[in-house]
Amino acid sequence: MNTFRLITGIPGPSGFGSASTAEQVTEGIDATNLTAIITGGASGIGLETARVLALHKAHVVIAARNMEAANQAKQLILKDNDTARIDVMKLDLSSIKSIKAFADNFNALNIPLNILINNAGVMFCPFQLSEDGIEMQFATNHLGHFYVTNLLLDKMKDTAKATGIEGRIVNLSSVAHLHTYGGGIRFDNINDQRSYSDKKAYGQSKLANILHASELSRRLQVVLVLLFSSRLFYKWKT
């Protein structure tokens, strides 16, 4: 989407633009058989995504650091949609320990996972390190989502095989990915406080989100091709 369309809201080739609402985009969709995890689903874009997916009968799991806010979001959705299927689970994306616990707890539920929406994030915060010693914006916005995605990927693959419904992983980014440090991501200098810029650090985390999504797409397309080929071979042999 170019800047003019972004500002004016003029629809693009899809028929939707920046002025389109989530309800307009999802009109006519029946998500009864889908389960979605939304990180940061307690507020902002995440909350609206949770509300609309629940409106279309998806089972929504709000993964959030602030459980009080997450439960308030759940009640807000239920107030207007008393049949909504909403669960809340603790997830602090700046903590490797919390991410591992979240994935273990979700997998223990033994429910399917069709959609993972990596939405949560921090923005323009002063320099600080996560509990694992990583610059906070990069730790939360990218590494946390990278790790939780890896931990849930087998669950998503198993769900796709069992149901025949292709899964979706959505990484939220922004135009800020264009405004990063020179050369893009400073992999060898993530924690340098002396040259830290809150805006450029945010930009590099958003660029990492895009690169992660691109590589996931490439790798998972290969998996789908191999799976399809193996099924054809099995049918031919039998």
Q: What single letter denotes the amino acid at residue 159?
A: T
Q: Which range (58-62, 74-78, 184-188) has the least confidence?
A: 184-188
Average pLDDT over residues 36-53: 96
Q: Which two tokens stand for residue 11?
A: 């629809």
Q: What is the pLDDT of residues 189-212, one digit of tens each?
A: 999 999 999 999 999 999 999 999
Mean pLDDT of the chain: 90
Average pLDDT over residues 88-112: 98
Q: Which of 181, 196, 202, 234 is catalytic?
A: 196
Q: Which range (126-130, 144-148, 184-188, 216-220) has the least confidence?
A: 216-220
Q: What is the pLDDT of residues 116-166, one digit of tens each?
A: 999 999 999 999 999 999 999 999 999 999 999 999 999 999 999 999 998
Residue 39: predicted pLDDT: 98
For the four alpha carbons of 117, 123, 9 and 62, in that order, the dihedral sign comes to: positive
Q: Are 35 and 54 in contact (CB under 8 A)?
A: no
Residue 234: predicted pLDDT: 41
Residue 101: pLDDT band by 50, 70, 90 thresholds?
very high
pTM: 0.89
Which pairing describes strands 85-90 and 59-64: parallel, antiparallel, or unpaired? parallel
Domains of the chain, earliest start first: 28-237 (3.40.50.720)
Residue 2: predicted pLDDT: 66
147 is catalytic: no
Residue 179: pLDDT band by 50, 70, 90 thresholds?
confident
What per-residue string of b and e applies to 162-199 under the rule 16 or more CB within 10 Å gives b?
A: eeeeebebebbbbebbeebbeeebbeeebeeeeebeee
